[in-house]
Structure 1
Amino acid sequence: MNPIKATASFLILLAVIITLNAKIGPVPPLGAFLDPEAGFWANAVTNTAESETLDIPGLQEEVTVYFDERNVPHIFAQNEHDLFLAQGYIVARDRLFQMEMQTYDAAGRLAEVVGPQLLQRDLNTRRRGMAYGAEQAMEAINQDSLISSIVNAYADGVNAYIDELSPADYPVEYKILGIEPETWEPIKTAYLLKNMTRMLAGRHNDVRTSNTIQYFGDDFVEKYFTRKPELNDPIIPPSKEWDFDGDIPPSPDSLFTPSVSKVIDPFPFQEGIGSNNWVVSGEKTASGYPILANDPHLGLSLPSIWYETQLHAPGINVYGVGLQGSPSIIIGFNEQTAWGTTNVGSDVMDWYEIQFRDESKQEYWHDGQWKPTTQRVEEIKVRGENTVRDTVIYTHHGPVFEVETSTGEDGPVYHALRWIAHEASNDLRTFYGFNKMENYEDYREAVNNYTAPAQNFVFADTAGDIALWITGKLPKKWEHQGRTVSDGTDATYDWQGWIPSGQNPHIKNPERGFVSSANQESAAPNYPYYLDDDFAPYERGRRINDLLAEMNNITPQDMQRMQMDSYAYNAATIIPEMIAWTDRSKLDETELEVLDLMSNWDFHMDAEKSAPSVYLRWFNQFYRAVWSDEFEGTEANLRYPARDIFVEVIKNEPTMAFVDDINTPEVESLGMLATQTFKETVAELTEEYGPDIESWQWGYDIDNDLNHIAQIPGFGAQDLFTSGSAEAINAVRGTHGPSWRMVVELGPEVKGWGVYPGGQSGNPGSPNYDNTIEAWRTSQLFELNFLRDEPEEYQYKLELSSRN
């Protein structure tokens, strides 16, 4: 053999071997990844699941898990320890990667498993105090022997599954990333729950409102942020009378004027968060028993944020959905009761401008004296690079950030964060109570244990009671406290304790025969305490209440149809006006055809209609045309007026000064803006979809995607043809929307229906990965197989026991 050719062949072979077994950037070692026995091919599910008997360390007695045709597990245990251990095992079996990634994110450890591209996200997470908050929560959990034992049993179940895995068995995402599962510590459950607080109670307007006051004055803020729209319809209606006076702390003599900041938040609030829930009393239903409906609006992903399960043991029989990594059912029902939840717009995140004594930041001025700070060193491992050590300064308010100003301040400006997520919390005690409750008194006791994120918990029971409590630790505040950046040197701006839980807004068995919430304002102005000035727009809540007020002889199917209602309240309020303002003489033939289409529209955001595509783009462009010249002409971040207030003002004041574009020599009128933005909208849709108006269907323009939780291409589902919108009860929009639709009819035999987009399995190679997407898209809720006793018929079962 030619030695040169032989050497060349050997070097090529060596290069191939090295390449196939080396990780290059985000690409896994291709040799291991393509291995037909241990690579990603091993994750393909090609056979039907069969019943098995498994040895699960730690079980005290035998557990049987029955799986139905949708692969929903029904866990039957003989004691609660085994019940929650088995829950941990079964959830990990289907969703291990999702469980771990959620807690890696909440702990600020993504760079450790992915690489330096996620270092900044981790730094922001640590600086925001997520790890500190989880540690506080874990201390509270450990002081509760019952909940601590449940969390530990759940962790033992997760670890029992991890311990039986070989690399060939790892979920495919681990193979793509070239990582392996780690031991599940109980604190990971605390991280998961704190992550929900970040998602649902991680927003503020402090900086934007402070800046807006300085640019436009107090009258502007009073008009656009303090005043409520005429169509406002609060969760607790004005008819509710309160039998207490608020214990309101004293306010300062004059409000603090902070520095104008360019930086809003190093970890901005996730838009699209919301939810609907309602309960109708038996007086309004065909069965004579209450019906409860809930559809939490969260990020839509594959796999789903939820996992469907039934838990059955002595003293507990509950069905619903839970979060991967947390024991118990979060939303669901049992044999006597049902409950659901929506998020509360409470102001539980405040920023304080801090005055340090010197550059060492060892002391800060507060309440007339210098007080010591504390330091927390965060160590962040970075894959392929050195560990990063970040020192975070803490005051009694919380962690401190340096912010950038647009006022030419001498020296840096610092903000400290006071946030409910830093509070010790044991929220699992609430959900454990929900799982076992039998009546209103049990429900009331359970909500009393809840901290954050604040929730509107609706309730119904077989005795006929219905109720809604706005639940969570809510700080006592003077009116509008925390709406702007606070003076960190003045104790008057500190949180002054908590509203007693019994004085949180609530209502039981109202005369109108229903309770409901859709993230709108919590209570009417007669409620004695200040909560916030920034709630969801009234549209969804008012539409729900309008429909329920007119309905009688209600069935569960009526509630399911109502969850899919696509009526756009804002469109009905403003589009007729915008059409009237539009100058038809300036429109061409196609534009006139589109305007006529809008004139005949019924204001439903239906997938097959083109008018919704026109509406949303036109309104958004019109809104920007009014405000962007003033608001984008400054380096400071300003708070834009809410949609509902803007519509009310522009209808009543068509010549208001903001209509004119300050960047042009002419004076713009409302008609000019409406006409101009309408023409721009038609041109935009024509360019994107072509001249055929029928091709502008909303189902395409809504851009409804279910992305994989790790954004891995090919593992998601894109461009679902769906109805709905942010202002409709069916609040589908982009990558957000109803993450779990549930309807429960109480009675002698409680019945439930539900669906979420995706499937039970987190494995893209499983037929149960995405098998419920079409049912979710078309609102085909499955009747939930709520078992009272162990079944004789099932798809397959697992018999779990411990030989130890």
Structure 2
Amino acid sequence: MTPSETLTLPGLSAPGSIGIDRNGIPHIRAENEADLFFLQGFHAARERLFQIDLFRKRGLGLLSADFGPGYIEQDRASRLFLYRGDQAAEFAAYGPEAEASFTAFTKGINAFIAMTEADPSLLPVEFGLLGTKPAVWAAGDVSRIRTHSLSRNALSEILRCQVYGKADHRTDLLRRYLEPKIAPAVPEGLDPATIPLAALDVVKLATANATFSPERLAATLDEAPKWRATTDLLEVVLDAQYTGSNNWAVHGSKTDTGLPILASDPHRIHGMPSLRTIVHLTCPGLDVVGAGEPSVPGVMIGHNGTIAWGLTIFYIDQEDVYFYETHPEDCDLYRYGEGWERVRTVEERIKVKGCDDQILTLKFTRHGPVVHEDPVAGRLYAVRAAYFEPGTAPYLVAHKLMRAKNLAEFRAAAVTWGTPSCNLVYADTAGDVAWMPAGINPIRPNWDGLLPVPGDGRYEWAGWRDRAQAPLVHNPARGFVFSANEMNVPAGWDHKAYPFGYEWVDYSRATRIEEVLGSVAPHTLSTSRALQTDVVSIPARRLGKLLAGLTPSDPDTAAAIAMLAGWDHALTSMSAAGALFEVWWSRHLKKALWNAIVAPELHALMVPGDVDGTLAILEDPDDRFGSDPAAGRDAILAASLGAAFGEMQRLLGPDPAAWAWGKLHHGFFEHPLSFLLSEATAKAWAIGPVPHAGSSVTPMHTGYRGTDFRTMMGSSFRLVVDLADFDRSVTINTPGQSGDPRSPHYRDLFARWAAGDYAPLPYTAAAVDGALESRLDLKPG
């Protein structure tokens, strides 16, 4: 019999339960939807209260009250990007049940907070370390925060100007490759060289996580401006370029069961606890299981016993940077049309720990928040974004998706999706599979969206493209649909009549996924598991073909070529050739290429280097390599590979037989407040290090930090759904389901995740009951 305890919970209208299975997955049962989402919020707070409290305070711009002046600038940035529109329209956009669900969810969070006030021992230890308390939630807090959607493509517009100001379009393709192929048109009135990099600071800060250090926590009011840039450019660029995901749905005609198999693994920056949490929600009329974010009700990726769905980022351009000429006598007036328009100013009083209340001045043009002021140049800079519209909070339309029972209902929900723009893959027990893009898409009548534009009225959005006219792929002849953030708009699509965007993730993961899905028959649950954890590197394969023609005289280069020639291009943790290749690729080849054809002052802007842009120029060298481009290219390949071989000897010793990728590349999770812990506790709460396979270009995405090869982002959560038998579905989340270091489910999934293994995801009542290790029975108070 499952061990159980009973708790009386004020706010609950009828009995319910939260069963925890052996892997920490909660199976929440209630007699009505209000109680179901109430209990989801309650459980999210019980397991992740510090995480969701910090998420709320960061997103709403409330950090300074808890942590002091070092967070004033971040609060200001966050408040600039809040949803400030009509709240009734906002709730309505997510479906008729949304307001009631969001309200119940936040009441559940508040119910647990009330319990911690009555019994402080329930409070997560992080609050004690920082001397703070959790705050009460309101229903609107679920959706007002928009900063998870700040992704495309304000950052790149400004970086492109930096490159264009010193070089040209060909050079910028090494930073960010474009598809369909286009030479961005410089808008009338723009001199790219005049756009400052500082215009990025507030945008970066609005997207940054709340970070902690002794210096920041001790900052004074005078030192507050120092913390305007809490994250460096490289971190933001890596996040923008490597945030991705994989998903696919295989038709029953290609599977061993005759019904579809669906897989989804979103890729995001890793954290402790993880961004995602797995949950099973059951009440009359709704029975859905999968993953979401602990601060949001419902399930974003999963199945409901009839349909299953997954998502990845689809790169619609949803942002634009505007710059404005200001009046010479009044910097709050900006040129618009034939006259001048005044900036709208909002002043907000905030509490600051240890100080008097401060006034934050927020400025907005007709297009959006002012992110930079340059009085010397007489300019303002603002961001216009699709996510300021009602119904565009990140992922919340999933509240509709999880209720669909067939493709028509799913598609009807998908065409209301706002942000972030996504590839949705779908499968159901009727046998259908489908792919469709989803996301609000602005119409730009007279520019391509790749560079900043004057805000004087010449470059205005003309509404939104009809999302119902976006493509749909349904039961294709090849028997599967998939996406991996590549440019995957179907062949023949008219990009001029209906554009989406031009900046995508490289084809590497997509190429490998398509290769496996098209060659393995029949497809099984094990096939999807193996593909989600596949570590074959397509760039390694492509570069191996270029190396095959080299005959170097340098012994190190010759030894390196021989070593790579016999390799299967799989970046396993034990692979010596894989270690050599990644050191060459990440530390030597791209740098040697830039040294040869890119001005030195632009090298920092190239990092990490676009995969497709880099491979394109190496496979088809041009005049930048000299009078004999192929020979010039080969010299770069040989010299950089020889240098990488030498570094490998310094890193892992002189004997290549002793090298292994996992001796460099490792998974490691450190508690975010480790600097406040004793050395012994910090070590006990850390997880890892463990040797890790893969890279950012393999289906098992394990993007790493170049300085120490530590995995920083990738698929912390994975799901494979068997539509023929939902109880055979599997999942994984790392490092565990709980954010409490004292919980047995704080780290229990880490070893399996690192090894590419899974946990079962039971769905039917009998399977769930057989998997439970504990149950909390809840009675109305």
Q: TM-score range by the shorter chain?
A: 0.7 to 0.9
**In the alignment, structure 1 residue 458 sits paired with structure 2 residue 400:** no
Measured at CA, do residues 402 and 225 of structure 1 come closer, stay the same or move farther in structure 2, by a change above 3 Å? Answer: closer
Q: Deviations over 1:437-482 (max 9, x none)?
A: 2111110122122111111111100011111111110112348622
Aligned partners of 1:364 and 1:373 also within 8 Å: yes
AA matched with 1:530: P
**In the alignment, structure 1 residue 802 sits paired with structure 2 residue 756:** no
Out of 726, 732, 738, the residue aligned to residue 696 of structure 2 is 726
AA matched with 1:457: L
**Structural mapping, 1:595-744, within 5 Å:** 595-620=561-586, 621-628=588-595, 631=598, 633-634=600-601, 642-653=610-621, 656-657=624-625, 669-710=632-673, 713-714=682-683, 715-733=685-703, 734-744=711-721
* Residue in structure 1 matched with residue 318 of structure 2 by the alignment: 348
Measured at CA, do residues 138 and 701 of structure 1 come closer, stay the same or move farther in structure 2, by a change above 3 Å? Answer: farther
Matched residue of 1:510: which SS?
coil
Aligned partners of 1:724 and 1:730 also within 8 Å: yes
- CA distance in 2 between counterparts of 1:345 and 1:658 reads 35
**In the alignment, structure 1 residue 584 sits paired with structure 2 residue 552:** yes
After TM superposition, give the deviation of residue 220 of structure 1 in Å: 5.9
* Residue in structure 2 matched with residue 769 of structure 1 by the alignment: 746
Question: What is the TM-score with the length of structure 2 in the denominator?
Answer: 0.85
Question: What is the TM-score with the length of structure 1 in the denominator?
Answer: 0.83
Measured at CA, do residues 191 and 707 of structure 1 come closer, stay the same or move farther in structure 2, by a change above 3 Å? Answer: farther
Matched residue of 1:216: which SS?
coil
**In the alignment, structure 1 residue 65 sits paired with structure 2 residue 3:** no
**Structural mapping, 1:461-540, within 5 Å:** 461-478=428-445, 481-491=448-458, 493-523=459-489, 524=491, 526-527=493-494, 528-540=497-509
- CA distance in 2 between counterparts of 1:629 and 1:418 reads 37
Out of 197, 218, 230, the residue aligned to residue 149 of structure 2 is 197
Q: How much identity, in percent, do the aligned residues show?
A: 25
AA matched with 2:478: R
More divergent stretch after superposition (80-89 vs 265-274): 265-274
**In the alignment, structure 1 residue 758 sits paired with structure 2 residue 774:** no
Measured at CA, do residues 480 and 221 of structure 1 come closer, stay the same or move farther in structure 2, by a change above 3 Å? Answer: farther
* Residue in structure 2 matched with residue 51 of structure 1 by the alignment: 4
AA matched with 2:330: S
Q: Deviations over 1:617-662 (max 9, x none)?
A: 212322222224764544798567732133222222265348999x
- CA distance in 2 between counterparts of 1:674 and 1:147 reads 56
Matched residue of 1:82: which SS?
helix
* Residue in structure 2 matched with residue 298 of structure 1 by the alignment: 268
Aligned partners of 1:302 and 1:709 also within 8 Å: yes
- CA distance in 1 between counterparts of 2:316 and 2:114 reads 42
AA matched with 1:54: L
**In the alignment, structure 1 residue 401 sits paired with structure 2 residue 371:** yes
* Residue in structure 2 matched with residue 784 of structure 1 by the alignment: 761
* Residue in structure 1 matched with residue 528 of structure 2 by the alignment: 559
After TM superposition, give the deviation of residue 51 of structure 1 in Å: 1.6
Aligned partners of 1:281 and 1:466 also within 8 Å: yes
- CA distance in 2 between counterparts of 1:422 and 1:636 reads 34
**Structural mapping, 1:89-100, within 5 Å:** 89-100=42-53
After TM superposition, give the deviation of residue 252 of structure 1 in Å: 10
More divergent stretch after superposition (161-170 vs 142-151): 142-151
Out of 389, 393, 413, the residue aligned to residue 359 of structure 2 is 389
Measured at CA, do residues 774 and 748 of structure 1 come closer, stay the same or move farther in structure 2, by a change above 3 Å? Answer: closer
Out of 184, 187, 193, the residue aligned to residue 137 of structure 2 is 184
- CA distance in 1 between counterparts of 2:359 and 2:688 reads 39
Q: Deviations over 1:103-139 (max 9, x none)?
A: 222223334323334444334333xx23x32666675
Q: Deviations over 1:354-397 (max 9, x none)?
A: 11224533322223332232012244443333444332221111
* Residue in structure 1 matched with residue 105 of structure 2 by the alignment: 154
**In the alignment, structure 1 residue 215 sits paired with structure 2 residue 166:** yes
Matched residue of 1:382: which SS?
coil
- CA distance in 2 between counterparts of 1:639 and 1:187 reads 40
- CA distance in 1 between counterparts of 2:187 and 2:652 reads 58
**In the alignment, structure 1 residue 133 sits paired with structure 2 residue 89:** no
Matched residue of 2:327: which SS?
coil
Q: How many residues align?
A: 719
After TM superposition, give the deviation of residue 574 of structure 1 in Å: 1.4
Aligned partners of 1:229 and 1:644 also within 8 Å: no
Unaligned ranges ≥5, structure 2:
205-235, 676-681, 704-710
Out of 715, 724, 729, the residue aligned to residue 747 of structure 1 is 724
Larger gyration radius, structure 1 or structure 2: 1
- CA distance in 2 between counterparts of 1:710 and 1:459 reads 40
**Structural mapping, 1:312-461, within 5 Å:** 312-358=282-328, 360-402=330-372, 411-425=377-391, 430-461=397-428
Measured at CA, do residues 792 and 542 of structure 1 come closer, stay the same or move farther in structure 2, by a change above 3 Å? Answer: closer
AA matched with 2:523: I
- CA distance in 2 between counterparts of 1:413 and 1:744 reads 53
After TM superposition, give the deviation of residue 600 of structure 1 in Å: 1.3
Matched residue of 1:174: which SS?
helix
AA matched with 1:735: M
Q: Considering only aligned residues, what root-mean-square deviation do their CA atoms show, in Å?
A: 3.2
After TM superposition, give the deviation of residue 306 of structure 1 in Å: 1.5
More divergent stretch after superposition (97-106 vs 688-697): 688-697
Aligned partners of 1:429 and 1:449 also within 8 Å: no
Aligned partners of 1:75 and 1:310 also within 8 Å: yes
More divergent stretch after superposition (784-793 vs 740-749): 784-793
Measured at CA, do residues 690 and 635 of structure 1 come closer, stay the same or move farther in structure 2, by a change above 3 Å? Answer: closer
Matched residue of 1:263: which SS?
helix
- CA distance in 1 between counterparts of 2:631 and 2:392 reads 56
**In the alignment, structure 1 residue 124 sits paired with structure 2 residue 106:** no
- CA distance in 2 between counterparts of 1:402 and 1:332 reads 41
Unaligned ranges ≥5, structure 1:
1-47, 231-250, 662-666
Aligned partners of 2:199 and 2:371 also within 8 Å: no
Aligned partners of 1:349 and 1:418 also within 8 Å: yes
Aligned partners of 1:208 and 1:639 also within 8 Å: no
More divergent stretch after superposition (170-179 vs 111-120): 111-120
* Residue in structure 1 matched with residue 250 of structure 2 by the alignment: 280
* Residue in structure 2 matched with residue 257 of structure 1 by the alignment: 191
